[in-house]
Amino acid sequence: MLHSNLSVNEMGHLTLCGADTVTLAEKYGTPLYLLDEDRIREKCRTYHRAMKTYFTPDSRPLYASKALSFRGIYRLAKEEGMAVDVVSPGELYNALSAGMDAADICFHGNAKTVADIRYAMDNGIGLFAADNAVELERISAYAVEKGVTQRVLLRITPGIDPHTFDAVNTGKVDSKFGSAIATGQAEEIFCYARSLANIEVAGFHCHIGSQIFDEKPFCDAADLMLTFMVSLRDKYGYTAEILNLGGGIGVRYTEADPYIDIDDTLRLVGAHMHAICEETGYPMPQILMEPGRSLVADAGVTLYEVQNVKTITGYKSYAAIDGGMTDNPRYALYQSRYTVVNASRASDDADFTCTVAGRCCESGDLIGENLTVARPEVGEYLAVLVTGAYNYAMSSNYNCITKPPIVMIADGKDKLAVRRETFADMTACQM
Ligand code: LLP
């Protein structure tokens, strides 16, 4: 199957890390998000090991929690010694409420409000990835008021196009994020940050995009960033302690997607950086990386119950499910391709071509088109594979549809990590 944690048991049911998905659908109801916890831990360890080995002993991964944010995943991240990246005070609250240490958190975002900054600093945030001059002024002003020094990374756009699709392409010169090296604005913001009271520039950050399948764009970004850092050293005598290379390693959603090995990629990027540092005499900085998708995506499977199958004579067939764009908006937003399996009959031939349609009153509410599955019967379960990243995190209550629960599977045991949202939860803020 697509990933090694997926298989089919003797009943012909799809299994995730050995657990029978049909049994779990019956136990918890559908729609249902499943997560293979062991898989996530294994990925955290791979990143840790590779970063320490190929970069520097103090290099470490930060979990980009925008990919999937709930208390249980922050607890897991903490247990695995991960630092965390958050992009909003809500994610920060979530991480702190799970017991994460604020010193291990980096706060991102291109439009942080005064309230966001105060909230983060009141909780002792370790790092800001500072995007712009206004933000730096706000941080500086509050640091002066509190009598503290705040460490920041400056977000830089190296100007790399990693050939990924536009909506998740963040490292190009005209990006809404950060300051570009090419326009001279990266140098300007560096000088400005250094002129501000109570700000310590610990280093730099870049993130070139998401769903990237080869090491070249990461090497190119590292190259541009190090060259920029060397120029600042030569001009201003400043040596950066940290270089954060962001996230972006890709994940296979379908058999057509390539495979990228995390360890191999980091080995090649590390070798490339060591060579540049040696050549320029720049001390290899502590490297941070922010994987999101590559840590959690292939740990996830979403289960739905088939409500009806409709064939429009001479045109196409639809399999309608009890969820859709409210729990997985990625096809509606990006036309992202998924692999769908009839979990109830996973060993049968996938010989039925259909569009899997969600339950929202909106024709664009689809999980995918031209998908091939074993012809589903009403009441059978469809599994959408590789849904651990940017699914629950991007879910909504459109059409007043409540959010599914998350069940984590570890050591062959399933446990509820997020309970199913009730109508009362959904309407709790309404006066
Ligand atoms: N760091 C920064 C600053 C980021 O902006 C992102 C993702 C990451 C790390 C993590 O990247 P990853 O390792 O997950 O590729 N909603 C879109 C993905 C948006 C990614 C935005 N930034 C999707 O569903 O494909």
In 3D space, the residue among 339, 332, 371, 379 whose CA is nearest the CA of residue 355 turns out to be: 371
The atom of ligand 1 lying closest to the CA of 108 is 3
Residues with Cβ within 8 Å of 205's Cβ and at least 6 positions away in sequence, in order, are: 129, 153, 154, 155, 156, 178, 243, 244, 246, 288
pLDDT by residue for the chain (431 residues), tens only, comes to: 999 999 999 999 999 999 999 999 999 999 999 999 999 999 999 999 999 999 999 999 999 999 999 999 999 999 999 999 999 999 999 999 999 999 999 999 999 999 999 999 999 999 999 999 999 999 999 999 999 999 999 999 998 888 755 566 666 788 899 999 999 999 999 999 999 999 999 999 999 999 999 999 999 999 999 999 999 999 999 999 999 999 999 999 999 999 999 999 999 999 999 999 999 999 999 999 999 999 999 999 999 999 999 999 999 999 999 999 999 999 999 999 999 999 999 999 999 999 999 999 999 999 999 999 999 999 999 999 999 999 999 999 999 999 999 999 999 999 999 999 999 999 999 99
For ligand 1, residues with CB inside 6 Å are 64, 67, 85, 108, 168, 170, 207, 210, 246-248, 290-294, 330, 390
Q: Where are the alpha helices (DSSP H) in 29-180?
A: 37-54, 71-79, 89-97, 114-122, 133-146
How far apart, in whole angstroms, are the C-alpha atoms of residue 417 and residue 103? 25
361 is catalytic: yes
Residues with Cβ within 8 Å of 356's Cβ and at least 6 positions away in sequence, in order, are: 318, 319, 321, 340, 366, 367, 368, 371, 382, 384
Phi, psi at residue 417, to the nearest 5°?
Answer: -105, -30
Distance in Å, CA 168 to ligand 1 centroid: 7
Helix (H, G, I), strand (E, B) or coil at 195: helix
Pocket test for ligand 1, best of 47, 66, 73, 265 (most atoms within 8 A of CB): 66
**What does the block give as tokens for 292?**
């999101």
8 Å CB contact between 253 and 337: yes
8 Å CB contact between 389 and 338: no
Distance in Å, CA 209 to ligand 1 centroid: 7
Q: Which of 191, 360, 361, 429 is catalytic?
A: 361
8 Å CB contact between 102 and 129: no
Please confirm whether the linkage preceding 31 is cis (ω < 30° from 0). yes
The atom of ligand 1 lying closest to the CA of 333 is 24
In 3D space, the residue among 144, 98, 102, 95 whose CA is nearest the CA of residue 123 turns out to be: 102
The atom of ligand 1 lying closest to the CA of 246 is 1
Distance in Å, CA 67 to ligand 1 centroid: 7
